[in-house]
Each structure stands twice: as C-alpha cells, then as structure tokens.
Structure 1
Amino acid sequence: MSSDNSKQDKQIEKTAAQKISKFGSFVAGGLAACIAVTVTNPIELIKIRMQLQGEMSASAARVYKNPIQGMAVIFKNEGIKGLQKGLNAAYIYQIGLNGSRLGFYEPIRSSLNQLFFPDQEPHKVQSVGINVFSGAASGIIGAVIGSPLFLVKTRLQSYSEFIKIGEQTHYTGVWNGLVTIFKTEGVKGLFRGIDAAILRTGAGSSVQLPIYNTAKNFLVKNDLMKDGPALHLTASTISGLGVAVVMNPWDVILTRIYNQKGDLYKGPIDCLVKTVKIEGVTALYKGFAAQVFRIAPHTIMCLTFMEQTMKLVYSIESRVLGHD
C-alpha cells in the first residue's frame, strides 16, 4: 500500500512539474520562498551587518563575531522586532526573485532542451550547460525585478540606533524607502547596483537548481536514496552549500554597493578591487558563516516546500483549468 502511494505521489509530482502554468510556477516558487524567508530573515540581517563591518578598513573592531553572537547582540539591543527588520521587503523581494528564479527555470530549460535535443523528452534531458544557463537566466530576471526591494531591505537591515555599522540610512518602512529613493535619485536610484545584483544572483542561481537536480538524480540513479522528503532534503543541503561558496564574494559586493549613499564604489568591479586591496581577499568571505547558516536552511526549505507548493498549485489549476 505504501509503495503504491509513493508511486502515486511521484506521478503527481511529475505531472505537476510538466503541466503547471508559468504563472502557477511563479506562484509556487514565490510562496515556497516566503515560507523559507520567514525563518531565515534574522540570519540574513546579521549576515549583512557582518559584511559591512570593517568596510574599507584594514583593522577594525568586530562587533559581530559570528552569527549566534551577532543575533544575540541585536536581540539585546533591538529585541525580536530588530531581528526581523526588513521582513516585509524580504517577502516582496522573494516573490519577485525566487518566483522568477524557480518559476522561469523549468520553462527556459525545457525550451532549450527542445531546441538542442528535439528527439528527447525535454523534461528528462539533463544537460549541465543548459541547466547552468537556465539557472543564471532565471536568476537574472528575478534580480532585475527585485532589485529595488533588495536595496531597501539592505538599508533597513543595516540601520541601527545602537551599533552603527556602515553608512546609515533610516526608512520607516518599505514604501517610505522606495518613495524616498525615487524622490531624491529618481528611477535610476531605485536600480542602483543592478549590475552587482545580476552578478550575485546569476552566480547563485547558476548553481542552485543544477546542483539540486544533479544531486537528486545521482542519489536516485545510484540507489543511494529513494524519492521522497529525505531525498529532497539531502539534495537541497548539497545545493545550499554550493550556492554559499559561489555567491558569497558577490554578496559582499552587492551589500556594500546597496548600502552606500554616495559614490564610494563606481561599480561591482571597483568595489571588488578596493575591498581586496584594503581588506584582503578574505574580506570577500566576510559573513560566510552566516551565509551558510542562512542559505543552507533557506535553500532546503525553499526547494523542499517547492515540491509541495507545485502540487498545491497544480491541484488548484486542475480544478480551475481542467488539467487531465
């Protein structure tokens, strides 16, 4: 009986992935990401502050020494509310970024597979090159859509009345931040650092889903694990660690460019050069512990919940659109 149920669940999952609409994929991806970010937002906040401390200084005191100690310091000074700064901006950003990244990945991959492998079923083809390109492309779409929200989120999370790290910009909320930036800098200001966002998100997205799919297929093909929640959890963990390693340097650069009010950095490459020159190469991995602490559970929850939200959205679409 349990074997039959497992096969049935597997067939539902496969059918959902194949027949769900692009809008449905967007909704499923965004919903899964929002569930994940609710848990990981405090870690994101401390990561940003760790990446900013010691900026453009070869020997600066470290107020935030590690993720746990850092969150304890924030909680002591700013309370639970302080740990969830920027959460509303994070929700909207996740819908734009991950809804696009997870929602457009499969359609882009399938289209490219149909183009380059016309004699094979597009959903079965696993080309590393196509998977990487599809991940990067879908991530870049999300980065462009979500950039203004990530900008406001970064500034909301870096601001503190108690411990001032980096340049401080005070907004009363998401809308206030967007309006303030638009009034002072125009549309261009809302998309400050978009080039850095593309590099960061493209790097992370190019490996997230490909590593997840590769790990999942490897474990199944070699009879190491059977399809189910445990497999999804393991593949998600491997994917999260890979994303953290690849993305952290670009994440440091993005955080610093978004947080600046003036023109300390002319662009991502200028920021990269100045950071390495003054703080050393290791500065590119500031906040790495927090990055792993955040990205691993975030990726695990996001991709694991994605399997379930895809089924949920497919179920709803089946009733509304009459899928077979």
Structure 2
Amino acid sequence: MSRSTAGTDPKKGIVNPPSGNPVTAAVKKPYPFWLGGVAASIAASITHPLDLTKVRLQTSGDKGMIKSIQKTVAANGVRGLFDGLTGTLLRQMTYSMMRFAVYDWAKEAVHTEPGPPPAYKMALAGSIAGGVAGIIGNPAELMMVRMQADKAKPPERRYNYRNSVQGLYRMTREEGFSSWTRGIVPNAARAVLMNMSQLASYDWFKGELIRRKVMEDGPVLHFVASLGAGTVATTVCSPADVLKSRIMNAHGPGSSSTLAVIRTSLANEGPMFMFKGWVPAWTRLQPTTILIFLTLEQLKKGVDRYREAGGTLL
C-alpha cells in the first residue's frame, strides 16, 4: 500500500500494522464474508430490468430484447421492469454471498505456495465456489426465475407470488420441499461454469495487466478486467443458463426433466437454442460484472480504511 500507516509485503503476504501498534507484523485479516453478497445486491438492483428481459426471452416466445422490454412496459408500466426484484435480492444474499466467500477460501486451500495462484488453480477454486453456491442458492434462484417470468405468461399459468419469502412458503406448501431442488443440476452446472469463468478470469486479467505493467491497480484496471470476465462468462454459461430457466419455468409432470427440455428445444429450435438470449445475457452480465467487481473493490478499500482508523467490528 502507498499509505504511510500501513503497507503490504508482497513476498510475505503480510500487512504492516498502523504506527503505534506494538505488533511488528500480522497476517492480513480476511474481509467480511458477506461483502460479495452486498456488492452483488447493489449491482443486481441496477441491472434487474436486463436480467428480467433475458429470462423472458429464454422462457417465452418474445423476439428481440427491445421488443420484449416494450412489451413489458406496455403491459405493466415501468415498474414492470422490476418484477421479481425481491427474488433477485434473496438470490444475491444466498448464492452470490456464498460464491465469493467460498472462492476466497478455496484459493487459499488449493494454493499454498508463495506468489499468486496459476490460472488453473483459480479456475478450480471458482468451480468449487460455484458448485457449493449453486446448490445452496437453488431455492432463491428458482424463486427469482419464476417471479421474473410470471407476467409474461397467460394469467391462468402465473404463480402470482407477492414476494420471494411468500413465494418460498407457497412453493413448499403446494409442491413440497422437493420443489427446492427443481432445476438444481443445470443450476449447479451453470454456477460452476459461471464462477470458473467469471471469478477466475477476473483475477487472471487483473493479475496479468498488473504483471505486464499495462495498468496500475485501480478502478480503470478493475473495469477492464471485469469487461473481459463478463464476455468469457456469458459465452461459457449460455447453454446451462437457458436450460436452467426453461426447466425451472416448466409446467406439467415430466416436462421439467433436463432430457425432456433438451429434446423438445432441439426439435423445435435446433441446437442454437442454447445461445438464445446471448445478447441480452451479455448486455446484462457486462454491467453486472463491472458493477459487482468495482463495488466489491471499493467495499474492500472501505474496510481497509476503517481498520486503519482503528475500527475492530469488520
């Protein structure tokens, strides 16, 4: 660090304490595990209309992102672009919070040697984080998809959940606890792919740009690294994302299995159905990825400043 009161030894990975502290050196305290969830919630609240449009393109007959947005506004007003926001926030504070927390732990677990971890270890850590978060966050993911897609359906096929908590209660009462695992296979697969590509590629881009002295650590670097991570993640995750949305939104017995959805979609649309909604997915994921990492980096800096000022609660 460049501050006079604290600094990081890049070889030892330790932080020099503020002047006046009798301890000569201490291992840097981990950041609060919930920072990733807060950063993701802020980003998702801003980009929610794009995520809503992506889900409706994947689960309905809407053609084109702009037309889908116009259809939503015409039917439900501007507020309609924020349908299912409580489901999105529930998802961010379960799935997203867990993936960032587990990723930091997994990186330390798979890389114990000096220096930064290589790309394959970062990808492995991202895969572990995605698998854990995808399973734990599946009920919230399911609720988010249902709430976002609901008003694009005919009235008789809508779930009409008031909010995510009431929706989880109704889903459990009407469909049983087993409904919490609906779509868990493609959701977990997507989560593995997402975190392997997004978290690992962000770290990789950031590390390479610093190592090659292209940029110094700061908001511009975070923006560029996020841009690369978002593009990689969108392409890698598109097939699993489409399958997850269609399975979670399916009606009727036997219609929600992974094989049934694949067979029906291939027969009706061909193999390119796996990339349906790629443009709105990229359009939505890019600002989300940029906002998440920019926000997370600033939250971490805020925690650093708080600790340097003597704070002990974080």
Query: Under TM normalisation by the shorter chain, which class is it?
Result: 0.7 to 0.9
3-state DSSP class of the match of 2:43? helix
TM-score, scaled relative to structure 2 = 0.86
* Equivalent position of 1:148 in the other structure: 139
3-state DSSP class of the match of 1:29? helix
* Equivalent position of 1:102 in the other structure: 100
The answer for unaligned runs of 5 or more in structure 2 is: 16-26
Q: Which has the higher contact order (CA 8 A, sep 6+)?
A: 1
Please say if 1:213 is aligned against 2:199: no
Which structure 2 residues correspond to residues 182-261 of structure 1 after superposition, within 5 A?
Answer: 182-261=172-251
Q: 1:133 pairs with 100, 119, 124, which one?
A: 124
d(CA) in 2 for partners of 1:303 and 1:183?
Answer: 38
User: Is the 1:108–1:134 contact (alpha carbons within 8 Å) kept by the matching residues of 2?
Assistant: yes
Which structure 2 residues correspond to residues 259-278 of structure 1 after superposition, within 5 A?
Answer: 259-278=249-268
d(CA) in 1 for partners of 2:76 and 2:280?
Answer: 19
Which structure 2 residues correspond to residues 65-104 of structure 1 after superposition, within 5 A?
Answer: 65-104=63-102
RMSD over equivalenced CA pairs, Å: 2.8
d(CA) in 2 for partners of 1:33 and 1:317?
Answer: 23
Please say if 1:46 is aligned against 2:36: no
The answer for unaligned runs of 5 or more in structure 1 is: 55-63, 115-119
Please say if 1:32 is aligned against 2:3: no
* Equivalent position of 1:61 in the other structure: none
d(CA) in 2 for partners of 1:268 and 1:78?
Answer: 32
TM-score, scaled relative to structure 1 = 0.84
Q: 1:27 to 1:317 in 2, by over 3 A?
A: farther
Letter in 1 for 2:194: G
* Equivalent position of 1:57 in the other structure: none
d(CA) in 1 for partners of 2:313 and 2:244?
Answer: 44
The Cα of 1:10 is off from its aligned counterpart by: 8.5
Q: 1:193 to 1:312 in 2, by over 3 A?
A: same
User: Is the 1:66–1:289 contact (alpha carbons within 8 Å) kept by the matching residues of 2?
Assistant: no
User: Is the 1:29–1:102 contact (alpha carbons within 8 Å) kept by the matching residues of 2?
Assistant: yes
% identical equivalent positions: 25
* Equivalent position of 2:30 in the other structure: 21
Aligned pair count? 300
Q: 1:50 to 1:10 in 2, by over 3 A?
A: farther
